[in-house]
Amino acid sequence: MAELDERARLGALMGGFAVTQMLYVAARLNLADHLARGPLTYEQLAAECGARPDPLRRVVSALAGTGVFEIGEDGRVGNTLMSALLRSGAPDSLRPLALLYGEEHYHAMAELLSAVTRGGTAFEHAYRKSHYSYLASNADAARAYHDAVNVETARSAEAAVRAYDFSGAEMVVDVGGREGHLIRAVLRANRGLKGMLVESSGFATKAQSRLRAEGLDDRCDVQVADIFEAVPSAGDIYMLGGVLHALDDERALCVLRACRKAMAPQAKLLIVDPQPIPLADVIGLAVSGGRVRTIPAQTALLTEAGLKLMRVLATGAGNSVLETCSS
């Protein structure tokens, strides 16, 4: 019996490819949005989303078996707590991630064997270019990727600000902070602080717009710089939010060393990165070439960059804040 249970579990894991694509279909067709006002028949739902009723029924029925959507006694389809997370406007929406995983990420994973046996990333084997080069030449893919990352970044930023006490600081520098989710969360929660965001020109422009919209632009300077080369020497707290896990060790070391060089003797560097989950690490191997590091791996990298780990704070949102200083 135990052997049969293990066989069933392994078989379910093998079927994960189908679940990913079913969730992608649900997200792409906005099924959860169409059901937001209440349950619909399959025919009504199909008419709303532009699908054929029978194949739609088969996909939705399979998802309902996992807790995504529910089928009422009258045969109508309704949202569940899980499917509601696929609504486009929902707080903490996972729709952007479902779209991301169902398109380029999905195709890249088909080349995972090549990455393991030949090196490089699975994405490079699948698309003949790096993930970031692909995004630079494909506006739709870039939009989908940044939408997904922005949702997760905003969520982790709010959690990090709740976990760390910024009192006593005067200037906080957000290094590689994309559109400024982390620095904006810090400034909203700490009205006496000044901030600086250091990013590439494209993200810097978006960050300036976001800061202006929230009335934070008078408290936060935005500077364009190559964070792999140099970081402004202006802060008593530096932050790397969601930066290092997207980088291999060599490039991560460049960023850490640039921060270390900019830091005054009493300055702190905060690293906000995902807690080490093996599946997330494999996604990094497949797509970006980055890695989700354990605390010992982070410590070794910090030591090589001339930094010392002081403490680790769990945020409760799947991330940790690593407080570091000059060694």
Q: Which residues are catalytic?
A: 245
DSSP string of 45-70, one letter each residue: HHHHHT--HHHHHHHHHHHHTTTSSE
Amino acid, res. 182: L
Rg (CA), the chain: 22
Instruction: Please report how many Cα atoms fall inside a 13 Å half-sphere around the Cα of residue 105, on the Cβ side.
Output: 22
Instruction: Report the phi/psi class of residue 176: left, alpha or beta, with left for phi > 0 and alpha for psi in -120 to 50.
Output: left
**67 CA to centre of own chain:** 24
What six digits make up the tokens of 16?
A: 């994960």
Per DSSP, what are the bridge partners of residue 323?
A: 270, 311
Specify the 3-state DSSP secondary structure of 174.
strand
What are the residues whose beta carbons fall under 8 Å from the beta carbon of 306, sequence distance 6 or more? 257, 260, 326, 327
Could you give the count of Cα atoms lying within 13 Å of 252 in the half-sphere of its Cβ?
27
Nearest to 45 by CA among 20, 19, 72, 65: 72
CA distances (Å), origin 228, targets 137, 170, 284, 324: 22, 25, 19, 19
